């Protein structure tokens, strides 16, 4: 008797992804795991993404299209969850790709460990040659098909994974029973995946991570991380503030650690503001002041400043005392660094 694999729902939000969506979906359809439904959420694209979606729906009988009117990535993922029917759910960004065995590996990890969530490592690529080399590489998994695995309870996962950089919603597989308990905070677009994971933890008994590098993260030059500052970048601070509230309800002893991460988020946002022209920076001066006030509050938390690296300590002190000077110095340093890299041919 052949037992059919349970259905995995793959949710792919996309906005203006005409140049890369098809390759992303092809990598999903080429998975060694067979029972998939692929839900593409076209979030108000203004390019030819809609035509690409229609072509993909014609090419694959397990592709479904959901159209939204530019609601943002969190709303797009939530809409995909509502539409999905799988016993398991995963998220893939439309400019990324998967190694063929990724979903098989995550499913095997979940079943063997009896976990609610399983995750794998990711690797970065920026052009087709890098992607081809990565896919053709012999990925060694000495401890079995799923590679080396580590299991966590919710509290340990928070401390050792989420608060140490593994705060991505993609490259993970979730049981439906978990996803049904939580949603992405809509109208938040930077840091929203970290907040989703934090909000999920109260409903999770066990999580598993494998060292198998199954997810290919595309270093998109047009991605959000490389764009000029807009008020949306303030979401990073908002998400860490909301996450801090939730984390302190779970473990008050983590206050200094999570507040240090909030400070880093504030300084990263300040760095985005610094790279604006003087005129644009003046037009956004209210956000500079918000960053400064949030920094002052965060630096009052006992132990938070001491959790920062030496570089972040210096940055935080200068920005708190002399915000305009800090923004000037930051931009000058970045401009000089870019000139040097160009001279070196980087």
CATH code of the domain in which 48 resides: 3.90.550.10
Residues 107 and 132 in one domain: yes
* pLDDT over 70, % of the chain: 92
Q: What is d(CA 57, CA 181) in angstroms, rounded to the nearest whole number?
A: 30
CB neighbour list of residue 60: distance below 8 Å, 6 or more residues apart: 25, 29, 38
Residues 233 and 131 in one domain: no
Strand-strand pairing, 207-218 and 117-125: parallel
Neighbouring CB atoms inside 10 A of 1's CB total: 2
Tokens standing for residue 174 = 């979730």
Q: What are phi and psi of 39, to 5 degrees?
A: -110, 110
Q: What is d(CA 147, CA 133) in angstroms, rounded to the nearest whole number?
A: 20
Residue 279 pLDDT > 50, yes or no?
yes
Residue 1 pLDDT > 50, yes or no?
no
Domain boundary among 167, 199, 218: 218
Residues 276 and 247 in one domain: yes
Residue 298 pLDDT > 90, yes or no?
yes
Residues 267 and 286 in one domain: yes
Does 304 reside within a domain? yes
CB neighbour list of residue 154: distance below 8 Å, 6 or more residues apart: 201, 202, 204, 205, 207, 250
Residues 52 and 182 in one domain: yes
Residues 141 and 41 in one domain: yes
Does 27 reside within a domain? yes
Length of the chain, in residues: 346
Residue (of 64, 56, 60, 113) closest to 85 by Cα position: 64
Residues 196 and 285 in one domain: no
Residues 208 and 63 in one domain: yes
Residues 78 and 189 in one domain: yes
In angstroms, the Cα distances linking 116 to 112, 148, 151, 162, 176 are 11, 18, 11, 16, 9
Residue (of 8, 219, 182, 209) closest to 109 by Cα position: 209
Domain boundary among 162, 189, 218: 218
Does 47 reside within a domain? yes
Sheet strands (E) in 161-311 = 172-175, 207-218
Does 174 reside within a domain? yes
Does 40 reside within a domain? yes
Note if the pTM is more than 0.85.
yes
Residues 210 and 134 in one domain: yes
Residues 26 and 144 in one domain: yes
To the nearest whole number, what is the mean pLDDT of the chain? 92
Q: What is the tens place of the pLDDT at every residue in 74-95?
A: 999 999 999 999 999 999 999 9
Neighbouring CB atoms inside 10 A of 166's CB total: 17
Does 41 reside within a domain? yes
Tokens standing for residue 67 = 């159209």
Domain boundary among 184, 218, 252: 218
- pLDDT at residue number 147: 64
Residues 206 and 266 in one domain: no
Q: How many domains does the chain have?
A: 2
Q: The domain containing residue 15 runs over which residues?
A: 8-218
Strand-strand pairing, 172-175 and 117-125: antiparallel
Residue 227 pLDDT > 90, yes or no?
no
Does 153 reside within a domain? yes
Q: What is d(CA 18, CA 248) in angstroms, rounded to the nearest whole number?
A: 42
């Amino acid at each position: 008797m052949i037992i059919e694999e349970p259905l995995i729902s793959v949710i792919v939000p996309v906005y203006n992804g005409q140049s890369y969506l098809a390759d992303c979906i092809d990598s999903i359809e080429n998975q060694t795991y067979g029972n998939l439904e692929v839900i593409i959420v076209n979030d108000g694209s203004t390019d030819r993404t809609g035509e690409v979606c229609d072509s993909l729906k014609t090419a694959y009988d397990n592709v479904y299209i959901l159209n939204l009117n530019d609601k943002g990535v969190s709303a797009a993922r939530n809409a995909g969850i509502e539409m999905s029917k799988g016993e398991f759910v995963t998220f893939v960004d439309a400019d990324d790709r998967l190694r063929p065995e990724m979903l098989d590996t995550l499913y095997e990890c979940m079943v063997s460990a009896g976990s609610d969530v399983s995750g794998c490592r990711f690797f970065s690529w920026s052009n087709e040659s890098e992607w081809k080399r990565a896919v053709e590489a012999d990925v060694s998994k000495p401890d079995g098909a799923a590679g080396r695995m580590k299991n966590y309870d919710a509290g340990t996962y928070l401390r050792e994974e989420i608060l140490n950089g593994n705060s991505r919603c993609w490259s993970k597989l979730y049981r439906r029973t978990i996803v049904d308990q939580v949603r992405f905070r809509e109208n938040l677009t930077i840091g929203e995946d970290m907040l989703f994971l934090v909000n999920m933890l109260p409903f999770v008994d066990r999580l598993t991570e494998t060292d198998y590098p199954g997810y290919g993260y595309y270093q998109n030059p047009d991605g959000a991380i490389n764009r000029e500052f807009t008020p949306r970048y303030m979401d990073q601070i908002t998400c860490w503030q909301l996450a801090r509230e939730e984390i302190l309800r779970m473990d008050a002893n983590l206050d200094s650690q999570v507040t240090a991460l909030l400070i880093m988020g504030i300084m990263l946002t300040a760095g985005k503001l610094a790279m604006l022209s003087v005129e644009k920076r003046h037009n956004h001066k209210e956000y500079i002041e918000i960053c400064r006030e949030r920094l002052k509050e965060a630096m009052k938390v006992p132990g938070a400043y001491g959790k920062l690296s030496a570089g972040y300590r210096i940055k935080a002190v200068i920005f708190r005392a002399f915000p305009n000077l800090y923004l000037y110095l930051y931009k000058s340093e970045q401009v000089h660094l870019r000139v040097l890299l160009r001279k070196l041919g980087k």
